Amino acid sequence: MNSSSASSYTLFDHLLELRSRLLNVVVGVLIVFLGLFYFANEIYEYVSKPLMETLPEGGQMIATDVASSFFAPFKLTMVLSIFIAMPFILYQIWAFVAPGLYKNEKRLVIPLMFGSTLLFYSGIAFVYYVVFPIIFAFFTSVAPEGVNIATDITSYLDFVLKLFFAFGVVFEIPIVIILLCWTGFTDPASLRAKRPYVVVGAFVVGMLLTPPDIISQTLLAVPMLLLFELGVFIASIYQKKNESEEA
């Protein structure tokens, strides 16, 4: 702890503080959810738009379960509420750990929280506006002749949520690099030396997360490489600043 008041906290005090922060998170997400629930069907229609625009004439989405027409939009709205409340959630996390941080650590944590939120949203926007139109056009174009494409709304939701989460996490690469360098686990020079392996790894990940065509793989691999370079660049600036302060 960096102060006598913080160090005087007992375990029970920390548990009470943790409970308070968790309750704040639950209430915040619930408020957002209540504001969005009325528009649940419209939200689902918007998320399904990339697929609907690529379906051939006569193609449609179906609900194979009796209650899926209700639960699919409900689930999507709940997940969206968590995504929208992410800045508030991250603030509650920061407020809980802040008393145990030193002053220089606090200066780094706040930009990291803001950057991680922005990058996570950027990953979701990228997969929705860039990746979805390409992969759905590919999937619908390779359907055998005479096959009527009718995607189940629950299966579609599970698929897009997985990609939303995957790309949101992938776009956190700069934050991960900065944290690794900050903790001393690695340094920018070592990461630059491993650049050839990073290039190969980026295209492997692109191959696993996208359809088997070079365009889709490149659409994911190139942003990953750019984010890697951005993380190394920021970590280098932070390292030089620390060295100058120590000198």
Written in H, E and C, the secondary structure of 196-232 is: HHHHHHHHHHHHHHCCCCHHHHHHHHHHHHHHHHHHH
Do 125 and 41 lie in one domain? The reply is yes
What is residue 246's predicted lDDT score, i.e. its pLDDT? 62
Structural domain ending residue among the three candidates 110, 141, 164: 164
Do 144 and 214 lie in one domain? The reply is no
Residue matched to tokens 């009796």: 66
Structural domain ending residue among the three candidates 130, 164, 198: 164
Structural domain ending residue among the three candidates 164, 181, 213: 164
Do 19 and 83 lie in one domain? The reply is yes
Asked whether residue 234 is assigned to any structural domain, the reply reads yes
CA gap 20, 96 in Å, rounded? 10
Asked whether residue 188 is assigned to any structural domain, the reply reads yes
What is residue 109's predicted lDDT score, i.e. its pLDDT? 76
CA gap 149, 147 in Å, rounded? 6
pLDDT in tens, the chain (247 residues): 454 444 556 777 778 888 898 999 999 999 999 999 999 999 999 999 998 888 877 677 888 888 888 899 999 999 999 999 988 988 888 878 777 767 766 777 778 888 888 999 999 999 999 888 888 888 777 777 767 777 889 989 998 998 888 888 888 899 888 888 887 788 888 888 888 898 998 888 878 876 666 777 787 888 889 999 988 888 888 777 666 666 5
Do 55 and 131 lie in one domain? The reply is yes
Do 145 and 57 lie in one domain? The reply is yes
What is residue 66's predicted lDDT score, i.e. its pLDDT? 80
Asked whether residue 128 is assigned to any structural domain, the reply reads yes
206 neighbors 224 (Cβ within 8 angstroms): yes
Do 182 and 114 lie in one domain? The reply is no
Residue 236 exposed, middle or buried by CB count within 10 Å (0-12, 13-18, 19+): middle
Do 123 and 50 lie in one domain? The reply is yes
Quick one: which of 76, 166, 88 has its CA closest to 123?
A: 166
With both helix axes pointing from N to C terminus, report the angle between 132-141 and 214-246 in degrees, rounded to the nearest 10. 160
What is residue 43's predicted lDDT score, i.e. its pLDDT? 94
Q: For Cα atoms 30, 44, 92, give the angle at the middle one, nearest 5 degrees.
A: 30
206 neighbors 223 (Cβ within 8 angstroms): no
Asked whether residue 4 is assigned to any structural domain, the reply reads no
Do 148 and 127 lie in one domain? The reply is yes
What is residue 221's predicted lDDT score, i.e. its pLDDT? 86
Output the pTM of the full model: 0.80
What is residue 108's predicted lDDT score, i.e. its pLDDT? 74
Do 189 and 95 lie in one domain? The reply is no
Asked whether residue 247 is assigned to any structural domain, the reply reads no
CA gap 220, 132 in Å, rounded? 12
Do 108 and 87 lie in one domain? The reply is yes
Give CA separation, 91 vs 43, 153, 183, 215, in Å.
26, 34, 21, 38
What is residue 4's predicted lDDT score, i.e. its pLDDT? 45
Do 37 and 80 lie in one domain? The reply is yes
242 neighbors 184 (Cβ within 8 angstroms): no
Provide the residue range defining the domain that includes 99. 10-164
What is residue 213's predicted lDDT score, i.e. its pLDDT? 65
Count of domains forming the chain: 2
Asked whether residue 2 is assigned to any structural domain, the reply reads no
Asked whether residue 199 is assigned to any structural domain, the reply reads yes
Do 99 and 56 lie in one domain? The reply is yes
What is residue 142's predicted lDDT score, i.e. its pLDDT? 75
Asked whether residue 3 is assigned to any structural domain, the reply reads no
